[in-house]
Amino acid sequence: MEIPWKPLLFWTPRVLCLLFAVFLSLFALDVFNEGYGFWKTILALLVHLIPTWIVLAVLAISWRWEWAGALLFACLGTWYLLSTWGRMHWSAHLVISGPLSWWGPCSSSTGCIEPGWRRNEPQDVHGMSYWVSC
């Protein structure tokens, strides 16, 4: 039995990014132990979920334009590393910045598999997907 590499290379980074967003959301749960009132807790929860929304927004961009997702994920990983350098333990850098930096090349490599393999996209003369040029 042959392993379907194209769907595997396409879906693995996306599913792992969704799981990473769930992982980041777990850090927002500490607001419930702060003893705030209802509305302050909701506000604090929304503020703590901002990194998760950013990762999900970059994933949505990456789903459509792999090159943009590659650039944005690499920028997110670099930004986190530079903004928290010296304030966090090295393992925090590895756990947060590592996956973000890893999805950069993964997002760009899935765009190079074969244009149009996942849906019937019109092809232009050069073999590139029509939708990439739009």
- Quick: pLDDT tens for 15-69: 888 998 999 899 888 888 888 888 999 999 999 999 899 989 988 888 888 888 8
Residue 85: per-residue pLDDT: 85
Residue 124 domain flag: no
Residue 9: per-residue pLDDT: 74
Residue 132 domain flag: no
Total domain count, the chain:
1
Provide the token pair at 85: 């350098």
Alpha-carbon dihedral sign for residues 109, 97, 76, 14: positive
Residue 92: how many other CB atoms lie within 10 Å: 13
Q: 31 forms bridges with which residues in the sheet?
A: none
Show the domain range for 45. 5-114
Residue 123 domain flag: no
Nearest to 83 by CA among 97, 69, 94, 71: 97
Provide the token pair at 93: 């850098």
Residue 133 domain flag: no
